[in-house]
Amino acid sequence: MKLMVVIPCYNEEEVLPETAKRFAAKMKSLVGQSLCSEDSRVLLVDDGSRDRTWEIISALHKENPLFEGLKLSRNYGHQNALFAGLMTARNRYDACISMDADLQDDMDAIDLLIKEYQDGCDVVYGVKNKRKSDSFFKRNTARFFYKLMKGLGVDITFNHADFRLMSRRALNGLASFKEVNLFLRGLAPLVGFQRGYVYYDIRERFAGMSKYPLRKMISFAINGITSFSVKPLRLITGTGVVVFLVSLIMLIYTLVAWLSGNTVSGWASIQASNWMLGGIQLLSLGIIGEYVGKIYSETKHRPRCIIDRYLNGENACPVVDE
């Protein structure tokens, strides 16, 4: 099997030399076990890094043909960088494995991913068995996110990030999805085909800082929810029905009180109801605005990313979006 490992990189100069060292040894081991062919490669995708990441990738490519480099014209985000790498490799390799550069994913699980592929699976998910290295906050917010997505009806694998194997035909299926707002964890199940699962324990980040602070995590979660579920819009409709029914009840109560002569001016209750209704309206407009903004960005059909340079032995020009 001809295998490509796709690794998005953003400001990874601290960890990249060690990542390359471990992958060189790992790929040699896979070839020795006949799990992949000698012309398998590792594609490092520079997502507009501001440090020496691209210099390191270029040096690795010169030293060892195992490593290929893809440089995007600017920072497009993790999902777009990963998609660019997958689309670059899909017509040249039998399967692609995607994983991050921080070495938190268990590299030994690659063997199991390939074996699942050999057993007939087109999509194999790497699932985090334990998250002891994550902080209490990150661990529990991640659990809440996956449960929320499941509750909204999204087909998503619990504790799966972007460590997965996809066959060539699965990648060709993925290429048929044209949306600009990418959420690959949700798109992969929509491709269909036989799927498999490999469980592993997450490790400590080798070096550097996480590229997903709280702000980006929230943005990523909102993008995932609005890309795959319309239930928040239906929730607005349901809330509107409830508020309407409550207002009818209050109207009847007010009329009865007025007819019985028990009306008393209540400033606090009026102010509270005004604040409540105003808050509901603003929240509803915000949710609707997220969907309208998503429609706006999709209708412009802008490219997901633009490639600056591509370093490989064939000097091929990759096609990222057809």
The per-residue pLDDT for 317 is: 47
The per-residue pLDDT for 308 is: 85
User: At 162, phi and psi to the nearest 5?
Assistant: -130, 25
Q: Is residue 10 a contact partner of residue 77, using CB atoms and an 8 Å limit?
A: no
The per-residue pLDDT for 159 is: 78
User: At 222, phi and psi to the nearest 5?
Assistant: -65, -40
Q: CA angle, 89 as apex, 83 and 91 as ends, to 5°? A: 115
What does the pLDDT profile of the chain (322 residues) look like in tens digits?
889 999 999 988 888 999 899 989 998 888 888 888 888 899 999 988 888 999 999 999 988 988 999 999 888 888 889 999 999 888 888 899 999 888 888 888 899 999 989 988 899 998 888 666 566 666 677 777 777 777 766 777 777 788 899 999 899 988 888 887 777 887 888 888 888 898 888 777 655 555 555 566 666 666 666 666 667 767 777 777 777 677 667 667 666 766 676 655 665 466 556 656 766 776 777 777 777 777 766 676 777 778 888 888 665 445 455 4
Report the C-alpha gap between 211 and 91 in whole angstroms. 30
The per-residue pLDDT for 71 is: 92
Sign, CA dihedral 184-190-194-197, equals positive
The per-residue pLDDT for 322 is: 45
Tell whether pTM > 0.85: no
208: nearest Cα among 314, 62, 49, 87: 49
Report the C-alpha gap between 214 and 76 in whole angstroms. 18
The per-residue pLDDT for 276 is: 65
Q: List the beta bridge partners of residue 6.
A: 43, 98
Residue-wise DSSP of 139-163 = HHHHHHHHHHHHHTT----TTEEEE
Hey, what amino acid is at 299? T
